Amino acid sequence: MLNILYRDDKLIAIDKPSGLLVHRSLIDKHETRFAIQVLRDQIGQRVYPLHRLDKPTSGVLLFALTEDAARNMGTVFGGNQAHKTYLAVVRGYAAEQDRIDYPLREDLDRMTDARAQQDKPAQPAVTDYQRLATLELEISDGRHPTSRYSLLEVTPRTGRKHQIRRHLKHIFHPIIGDTTHGDGRHNRIFREHLHCQRLLLSARELRFTHPVSGAPILIQAPLDTEFQRIVDLFGDVRCARNDP
C-alpha cells in the first residue's frame, strides 16, 4: 500500500518508493506494478499523473483526481510554479552552494522516443544546490586511499528529463547509485561496503499554490530506511526539514 502524503477533492500525493515506475514503459516490459495502477486500486478512482519521478528516485509524487484539476495543475507545472526540493548523496566534496546553468539536449530513449525529433537544440536548464554535510570513508576508491562524499539539498529551476542526475554528473559530482550517469567505482563501494542498493536521490518537498483554493500547499516525504541510514553516516544533519 502506498503512503498518501496529501489529499483533497482535487489532488492526491504519495510517497513513491524507489524502484516503482510511475506508469507502464517499454523500457521495463517485465514490470507489472505502476504507481498509477497501485494508487487507482488503493483509492478506487482514476488518477492523473502531473509530473514524473525516475523509477529509482523516491519521494513526493502528485496526481490530480479530476481532468479539470489535471489541466489546472498542468499550468502550474508548465509555468515552473511548482517548487521541488531533493536530497542527494554525491561523489566528492561539492562546493558549499552553487547554481548549475547548463543547457541540456532532450534525453531520448531509442525505444520510447523513436518518433521524437532527434536533433532538437539544447534547452535551458538550471539547478541550484546547497551542501549540507560531507563524509570521508576509510575505503579506497582505487585512486585515493579514502572516498569522499557530499550530502546535497537540490532545487531544480527547470524540468528537463533526468536534469538533476545529468547536471550533477556535469560538475563531476554524480549521484551515488546512478547506473546511467554515475560512477561505477563509488556505486560499488556503497553496494559492497554499505549494503546500499538504491539511487540516493529523493524528492523531499513540493510547494505550489492550489489552483482552486489559492492556498499555499507544502507536501513533504520522509526518507526510507535505507536512505536514512546513509544520511545518518554524515552525522547530526538537519536535512531539508527532516521531519515532514
Q: Which residues are catalytic?
A: 54
* Nearest Cα residue to 154 out of 145, 144, 163, 141: 163
Q: Which amino acid is at 106?
A: E
CA distance 210 to 214: 5
Burial bucket for residue 2 (CB in 10 Å: 0-12, 13-18, 19+): middle
Provide φ and ψ at 173, rounded to 5°.
-130, 65
The Cα 189–Cα 139 span in angstroms is 8
| Cα dihedral 182, 184, 186, 192 sign | positive
Taking the CA atoms of residue 119, residue 163, residue 175 and residue 150 in that order, the dihedral angle to the nearest 10 degrees is 140
